[in-house]
Amino acid sequence: SLRRTLRAMPIMGRSADSIDVETSWALYPAMQTSDIFQMELDCACAGMDQRKVHMLAREAAPKLGFAPPVCLHNPLLPGLQLTEVQGSFDDDANIDKSIKHKMSKSVGKGALWINDTPQEVNEKYREAYCPQKVVEGNPVLDHARMLVFPNHDRLDIQRPSKYGGDITYHSFEELAQAYGKGDLHPLDLKNGVSAAVTKLLQPVAEYFEKKPENLEAMRRLQVTR
């Protein structure tokens, strides 16, 4: 129904309670839902901000002769630049905040690409928003929590001896506590997370080195503002 479709509309920053609803707003959730059926997906993977559209797809599937897709939703990785998208996206305040600050490919320096070179990764982290002693809303720390520690049992940070020398953190909680107290400088945190993320992307770099034609295809998809 139209009302059910409108319930999925906040995905694009519009509220279903808006008095003046444009036709294109209502078409957007339907177009996203049709993507799943057009690609014949058994499993739809996306961020938490897509879950309402995915539920719309699951409800509509049997009526359209399709099997309801399995839906997997991952946390939203925040962008490295201090940007906030205007609008209301979710009834849950925490999820709404995550959506407003999520990484977007349209903000070039705030987004990481899997085909970024080590130099590009390092440059993006060096320019990242990373206020000293601030843990909440710090994208570099969020990347350590969401990317580094789930894949590594430690975060090694190299720094000159005059600034305390190399240090290793074995949990995100330990890292966050040290950063909040000012025991770790923002630049040292950036360098450590950058090195760890570069290591995570190494298998991707090796793949594209063997498949340069796929790397070129990937670059053609990279559209920014």
pLDDT digits (tens, 9 = 90+) for 27-67: 888 888 999 999 999 999 988 888 888 999 999 999 999 99
Distance separating alpha carbons of residues 144 and 186, to the nearest angstrom: 13
Q: What is the pTM of this model?
A: 0.79
- Report the CATH fold assignment for 104-203: Tyrosyl-Transfer RNA Synthetase (1.10.240)
Detail the DSSP E strand segments found in the chain.
43-47, 70-74, 155-157, 167-169
| pLDDT top residue among 117 and 25 | 117
Distance separating alpha carbons of residues 195 and 154, to the nearest angstrom: 12
Q: Where are the domains of the chain?
A: 2-74, 104-203
Dihedral over Cα of 203, 207, 210, 216: its sign: negative
Each residue's pLDDT tens digit, 105-162 = 666 678 898 999 999 999 999 999 999 999 999 999 999 999 999 999 999 999 999 9
- Report the CATH fold assignment for 2-74: Rossmann fold (3.40.50)
Question: How distant, in Å, are the alpha carbons of 14, 78, 89, 160, 184 from that of 102?
Answer: 17, 4, 12, 33, 25
Distance separating alpha carbons of residues 85 and 98, to the nearest angstrom: 10
